[in-house]
A and B are shown apart, each in its own frame.
Chain A
């Protein structure tokens, strides 16, 4: 009965109920938006288990911070920002363990991509949707986390350059070059993948 009520309620109503301690209402919110939150985490960390853990941690954080949600954005956008920040935190931690240097965090990759020949044929043109997804998935795996994150924030999260700069703690110029390199690398990877057929 209660579940039926929750399933027909709007997000705002569920948020109010959850804020008052109704876990049933929060469970409904989780059910509604879990795929998006998980997808964002997966796009960033590229690992199913980690994405699951981080997305679930994001929901726990969301629950504890419900009072801070003022409704300036949609609930799912608010939750997405939480999971993005958790993922960035995790990725930086992993990168730190690998490089052991904070300075390297903001290091730009080389300018090789600038010199790459342009892919003139759309390599994804005749691909089935599922096949395209698979290919992008493999290509995304090969990007560095900085490049992938900029792509995710720009293409999926539809953030403007300045918002990305704020989120990642870098300059707009860095965002522009990372996005450029990421797109070019991705285009080259997709073209390579096509040549494999």
Chain B
């Protein structure tokens, strides 16, 4: 018997335990009576078994220390800068030129804000997209020449969000 595409996918779903009980019984019956169906299921099963032992063998090709050190650097780079560090020496010098009054302290605060405003690299080292659902994903296309960023969401069209959003 020549199987249809639908039958083939059903046999696969049967193998993967994705069929409802009634359809699973029908699929099992087809496998029992049809050699081609049985061969196909056997092939799919063999592939599945072959893959089962594949991934666990992969290991990070770097030492623990080396691997961690880059992560640590990236984390530190994205951490907010300490609020006071850059301004201390600047105001040490500034103080010598200004009349020392009690208000200098207030000035330090104002200046610290200003210096940080001008000098810090930004909230993030690079833009970040965060999907609310861990199962969703987005990817980004950057057109620097036109100052346009496109963020494309893998929000399923079937969800009805888009349809309802537009209509």
> Interface of A with B (CB < 8 Å)?
23, 27, 30-31, 34-35, 38-40, 42-43, 48, 52, 55-57, 59-60, 63-65, 78, 81-82, 85, 88-90, 92-93, 96, 102, 111, 114, 118-120, 122-124, 129, 132-133, 136-137, 151, 154-156, 160-161, 163, 165-171, 176-177, 179-180, 183-184, 186-187, 190
Contacts and interface: CB of A to CB of B under 8 A. Distances in A.
B158 interface: yes
A176 B13 contact: yes
Contacts of A160: 18
Contacts of B59: 35, 38-39
A95 to B, nearest CB: 9
Contacts, number: 165
Interface in B13-68: 13, 16, 18, 36, 39-40, 42-44, 46-62, 64, 67-68
Contacts of B70: 56
Contact of B46 (A92, A156, A177, A187): A187
B153 A93 contact: no
Interface residues of B, number: 57
Given A39-B58, A170-B156, A187-B46, A93 B139 contact: yes
B12 A179 contact: yes
Interface of B: 5, 8-9, 12-13, 16, 18, 36, 39-40, 42-44, 46-62, 64, 67-68, 70-72, 74-75, 78, 130-131, 133-141, 152-158
